[in-house]
Chain A
């Protein structure tokens, strides 16, 4: 017994010391010869299509004989924690990481990524999505480049619209009415005229912003949480109305699985990124028959223009602790090449370069994407924003609003916590 304990102790100890390994910045191989390594690339979730992954691996290995490239798929959920631990150790760090565009500032300001300023011109320069580059730039140095963007638009069921006798809404008020109307028409408690699970603050954000509210505003170097402003509260009231009158999704659920309720015939409209269409029409995981009835439009704002929606998307960066800096740069430039970005565009992801937007095509999906992206917004570019997401302040807030909680109280509470995290 003692022996196994001791063995376990040794293993644990080895784990501990190697996790705290040396902290010199690795460069290319010491002998000056061509660098050969097994490059590890972290991609998150299923967003990157398989075709792109295969292309990246093959092309990279062709152009760098002797080196290999392995793609390790990470889950979005818990990514910040995993990066915090893995990126600080030379032994465990991947060589290239995909990081959510709202999570990037946390790592760029902490010095976790290598400086890419010198490579920007080669990678695309002014053609790169400017908002993404800006958010990854600290004191004039850029630490991450855009990978893809994807703003959400609204999927709706044409057959249910016809049955309820409603048209595609063109203003925010009409949108809310249609959502409520669809639910009434269905007569079912678990049906969603507009599908909005309780923890889904990312889609809820559009209503907050449309009313003129915000999560937090910059005040010099400091940030002030602003969920309690009258505008924010008005937006949150719309969210609460949607939760209580239009959505049938549980107040404690998250948005990770839209396919199940949609295919169970429980959804009239939902805000989702474009690539969800592929999941819905998939023979195995989706419901192609129902999906035939899908139409899409950009969420309309109060002024009739597209509402400001959360601009989702990813950055790519090279961890500063990666010993294979040069090879990693090769991989990054492949991922920003027109060929690779073209594959992403075909899958409905907005390419990292503006000039490639035409690759999205010109069907109604592409038009909805472009319309939604035209007024898309990012979460506050505060260094600590990722910890707000990590500590689930907003999940808590929206879930409590969904339960019918008092908006003024909840917003004041959340403001105090966000102030605490950001400053």
Chain B
């Protein structure tokens, strides 16, 4: 940090600028959060939604949840899905970003536009297209596989949980790779070329240069991207929800997001749903804590 910073801290402008935004954020995030905590300690069903006074039940909602083995199945599924997707997204994103540094400007521009389009497609619109591609009867994927002689006429992609999650992973990764590529590409252009060249002269191979020079340089960016990715992939909802309607067995494919939705909005048990949402909040904090700690440590270094 450049010295001279103390002068800046005495200037009230930055603080003044941040305070209104911070207050609004605290209000906008704080209100729903407090409401959620309150709800999670109440018996709150449809009748309460339409005006009956709710009854306090203490920790009963939480007890019901954690004693239901189904919750743990969903949690395991959610964490697994999150890590696989975040990992794949990051690996593919890194690969494409690396490739981009080696492309001619025109090719790079074309791929950037392509990525941008994938990223900018509204989720529901994208889901309609993907659902058509994997449709059992009229799907493009089955049709192509049949053209190549595969036995895929009428093959259901969504009905088996594993194959369901493979399709979901494909879609989720497809939608999140562009962001990772753009961010990492920007970071890669900041890696000082002379250092890389020096390493090359010292006899470091491509892999060694990547691991020992490039990676440490872009580490802060990498951490942020990974953190965001984990948070996003934990709460993935729309993709799973629409695929379930298109043919997945709901109970075998619920992730925490869709489970909370089916408890609350569909099942009318808002109290239990709020407790499950608290659970998800804690899970997010636990899973992201190590990365946040690393980021803070890096900042201090």
Which of A's residues lie within 8 Å of B, judged by CB? 2-3, 5-6, 9-10, 12-13, 16-17, 23, 77, 80-81, 84-85, 87-88, 106-107, 109-112, 189-190, 198-199, 248-254, 260-261, 320-321, 384, 387, 390-393, 395-396, 399-400, 403, 417, 421
Contact = CB atoms under 8 A, between A and B. Distances in A.
Interface in B154-202: 154, 156, 158-159
Interface string B261-279: 0100111100000000000
A84 B248 contact: no
Contacts of A403: 159
A381 B18 CA distance: 56
B21 interface: yes
Contacts of B45: 110
B25 interface: yes
B31 A189 contact: no
B50 A112 contact: yes
Contact of A390 (B47, B153, B247, B267): B267
Interface of B: 17-18, 20-21, 24-25, 27-29, 31-32, 45-47, 49-52, 136-138, 153-154, 156, 158-159, 244-252, 262, 265-268
Q: Which of B18, B50, B156 has the most CB of A within 10 A?
A: B50
A76 B18 CA distance: 46
A111 B49 CA distance: 9
Contact of A106 (B27, B32, B251, B268): B268
Contacts of A261: 137
A110 B49 CA distance: 8
A392 B250 contact: yes
B153 A189 contact: yes
Contacts of A23: 51
A100 to B, nearest CB: 14
A261 B136 CA distance: 13
A190 B153 contact: yes
Given A6-B24, A111-B50, A399-B249, A250 B268 contact: no
A87 B46 CA distance: 11
Contacts of B250: 391-392, 395-396
A5 to B, nearest CB: 7
Contacts of A198: 159, 247
B266 A400 contact: no
B249 A396 contact: yes
B265 A81 contact: yes
B265 A84 contact: yes
Given A190-B153, A399-B159, A84 B137 contact: no
A252 B267 contact: no
28 contacts: A2-B21, A3-B21, A23-B51, A77-B245, A84-B46, A84-B49, A85-B265, A88-B50, A110-B268, A112-B50, A190-B137, A190-B154, A249-B137, A250-B137, A250-B156, A251-B159, A252-B248, A260-B138, A320-B51, A387-B266, A391-B266, A391-B267, A392-B262, A393-B251, A396-B249, A399-B159, A400-B249, A403-B159
A81 B258 CA distance: 13
Given A6-B21, A9-B27, A190-B153, A252 B51 contact: no
B28 A12 contact: yes
B137 A13 contact: no
A252 B32 CA distance: 37
A110 B153 contact: no
A393 B265 CA distance: 15
A12 B31 CA distance: 11
A253 B268 contact: no
A111 B51 CA distance: 8
Given A2-B18, A13-B28, A252-B136, A111 B47 contact: yes
Nearest to A13: B28
Contacts of A399: 159, 247, 249
Contacts of A12: 28
Contacts of B32: 16
A320 B250 CA distance: 33
Given A88-B50, A387-B268, 4 more contacts: A9-B24, A84-B49, A110-B268, A395-B250
A248 B158 CA distance: 17
Nearest to B266: A390
Nearest to B138: A260
B262 A5 contact: no
Contact of A421 (B248, B265, B267): B267
B136 A5 contact: no
Contacts of A109: 46-47
Contacts of B158: 252
Given A189-B153, A252-B247, A9 B46 contact: no
Contacts of B268: 84, 106, 110, 384, 387, 390
Nearest to B17: A2
Contacts of B137: 190, 249-250, 253, 261
Contact of B154 (A17, A189, A387): A189
Contact of B247 (A17, A190, A250, A421): A250
A251 B156 contact: yes
Nearest to B248: A252
A3 B21 CA distance: 7
A9 B29 contact: yes
B47 A110 contact: yes
Contacts of B262: 390-392
